[in-house]
A and B are shown apart, each in its own frame.
Chain A
Amino acid sequence: MTVLTQVRFPPVLSLLSQAGVTGFQAALRHDYPTLLPPERTANVALTDTAVGVEASAPVWRLTTEQRDWTVGLAVDFVSLETKAYAGIDKFLARLAAVLKALRATVRPADSLRIGLRKVNAIRSPDSVDTRSLIGRVREEMLGVLAVERFPAPILGAFSQLVFEDGLNRLVIRYGANTPAEGELEFIIDSDYFTDQPYTVDADDSMLGLLRHFSEGTTSFFHWALEDAYKNSLGPRPRGEQRASDDAPR
């Protein structure tokens, strides 16, 4: 499973340059010692007479030694991402340190958007037949992927479900994906977010909100799996193999 949280805020111009990130990096250096080369996107400008490409804002990325946790900082957001998710408590503890460093060294204005995204990939036992997902994923989620006969194999299908939760939204994108030839997986990509303003700090209001988001996405994920398969994934003593080696990633 990959988990990412992003807090968007009004642009902070100093974060366009590496000098502007120095303090943030210094505050987090102990836990995230590696500053990766900035990732840049390009804006393509189309006019009647020309096509121009202009540089866009860099995303500064700090990682742990194992590179399993990555902090992203750009002119208008901070993010924390991991492929080594081990529960919301540990995730929020790391996020609190990131937000505290951001508050001390950048002090952005109130948030424009706060989101928590979890992406689960459930591998199919059969690399071609989407019906092999029956028994793992609820048939309501599988939809046409569970249909027995089509004149050609299904290579991909995605749907979107949007829930309203007061001032928050939960967007679920789900469907079949073929990450590589001979592989088939079912993706459940949950993005729980709010556009309500929050103080960008490691206080209980923002962390509590993200805990609520985490519980909501987990709840949906559990609902989306068939009970027998879900139980096979349940907690078990360390070192003991799971029933299958193709558990959600």
Chain B
Amino acid sequence: MTLLDDRGVFDAGTGPMLGDNPVRPFDALPQRSSARAAPDADTLERARRLHSQWGIESPQKVALLGILLARLAEVPFEDAAELLDVRPARLEKLMHGEEQIPSRIAKRWMVIAEALEDLQAVLKPRATARWLRTSIPALEGRTPLDSIKRGRLAEVRALTASYCDEAFS
């Protein structure tokens, strides 16, 4: 309950002035700025249908994607999509729950999430975008983004793990 709803001044719909007045002398009030959800029935039905199609792992995969995207908040969206090995338009669908996240991708994402966790333990999140595009000798001069695209995720993971070892040595 928020704002005047707390005070009981207005109801959620038309307000006491119009709601109690059978003559209704004015047009309905415009929609208010509020903190109440009002999705239409079609949206809820579509969500129910999609959720019923998904497997039981879906919430974990959706949460994993969310955590990854939070860690990639400072990274351009196109780079994030490239890192996650999906096209930007598809990534948007996955983010919106319009498409199921394949288990194959989720396994890969888990490793990327671990690498980002290691990385951000030693680097500020805003440095992630630059790090992804920095040529690194331990990756044979390739950038981490390029290495991951070439399927050398294990090498990148080992690299970020070594950052943590060095930080604590």
Q: How many A-B residue pairs have CB under 8 A?
A: 164
- The answer to whether B73 and A43 touch across the interface, beta carbons within 8 angstroms, is no
- The answer to whether A19 and B73 touch across the interface, beta carbons within 8 angstroms, is no
Q: Which 5 A-B pairs have the closest CB atoms?
A: A23-B66, A115-B33, A14-B97, A74-B37, A104-B73
Type the 1/0 row for B46-72, where 1 means its CB is closer than 8 Å to any CB of A: 110011000000111011011111111
> What is the interface of chain A mostly: helix, strand, loop, or mixed?
strand
- The answer to whether A26 and B67 touch across the interface, beta carbons within 8 angstroms, is yes
Q: Name A29's closest neighbour in chain B (CB-CB).
A: B70
Say which residue of A54, A59, A113, A119 sits within 8 Å of B35 (CB atoms).
A59
| A160, B30: Cα distance in complex, Å | 11
- The answer to whether B32 and A23 touch across the interface, beta carbons within 8 angstroms, is no
| A44, B30: Cα distance in complex, Å | 21
Q: Does A57 count as interface, using CB distance less than 8 angstroms?
A: yes
- The answer to whether B35 and A81 touch across the interface, beta carbons within 8 angstroms, is yes
| A55, B15: Cα distance in complex, Å | 23
Chain B residues with Cβ below 8 Å from A113 are 31, 33
Q: Does B162 count as interface, using CB distance less than 8 angstroms?
A: no
Q: Does A11 count as interface, using CB distance less than 8 angstroms?
A: yes
Q: Smallest Cβ distance from B100 to chain A, in angstroms?
A: 11
Chain B residues with Cβ below 8 Å from A70 are 2, 35
- The answer to whether A23 and B67 touch across the interface, beta carbons within 8 angstroms, is yes
Q: Smallest Cβ distance from B97 to chain A, in angstroms?
A: 3
| Stretch touching chain A among B3-11, B104-112, B131-139, B152-160 | B3-11
A13-B62 contact given A119-B4, A179-B7, CB 8 Å threshold: no
Q: Smallest Cβ distance from B111 to chain A, in angstroms?
A: 18
- The answer to whether A13 and B73 touch across the interface, beta carbons within 8 angstroms, is no
Q: Which of under 10, 10 to 19, 20 to 34, or 35 or more describes the interface residues of A?
A: 35 or more
- A–B Cβ pairs within 8 angstroms, 13 of them: A4-B34, A12-B95, A12-B97, A17-B51, A24-B70, A26-B66, A41-B12, A57-B43, A70-B2, A70-B35, A77-B35, A107-B92, A169-B30
| A191, B31: Cα distance in complex, Å | 10
Known A56-B37, A76-B38; further 12 A-B contacts with Cβ < 8 A: A12-B96, A17-B97, A20-B62, A22-B62, A22-B66, A27-B73, A70-B2, A72-B35, A77-B35, A104-B69, A160-B17, A173-B15
Q: Does B167 count as interface, using CB distance less than 8 angstroms?
A: no
- Most B CB atoms within 10 A — which of A22, A23, A27, A101? A23
Type the 1/0 row for B1-31, where 1 means its CB is closer than 8 Å to any CB of A: 1111001011010011100000000100111
> What is the interface of chain B mostly: helix, strand, loop, or mixed?
helix
Chain B residues with Cβ below 8 Å from A162 are 30
Chain A positions near chain B (C-beta within 8 angstroms): 2, 4-6, 11-27, 39, 41, 43, 54, 56-59, 61, 70, 72, 74-77, 79, 81, 100-101, 104-107, 113, 115-117, 119, 158, 160, 162, 169, 171, 173, 177, 179, 187, 189, 191, 193
- The answer to whether A19 and B60 touch across the interface, beta carbons within 8 angstroms, is yes
| A144, B33: Cα distance in complex, Å | 28
- The answer to whether B66 and A17 touch across the interface, beta carbons within 8 angstroms, is no
Say which residue of B33, B36, B46, B66 sits within 8 Å of A19 (CB atoms).
B66
A81-B3 contact given A13-B47, A76-B38, CB 8 Å threshold: yes
- The answer to whether B69 and A23 touch across the interface, beta carbons within 8 angstroms, is yes
- The answer to whether A191 and B66 touch across the interface, beta carbons within 8 angstroms, is no
- The answer to whether B37 and A41 touch across the interface, beta carbons within 8 angstroms, is yes
| A19, B95: Cα distance in complex, Å | 11
Type the 1/0 row for B129-148, where 1 means its CB is closer than 8 Å to any CB of A: 00000000000000000000
- The answer to whether B37 and A17 touch across the interface, beta carbons within 8 angstroms, is no
| A173, B4: Cα distance in complex, Å | 11
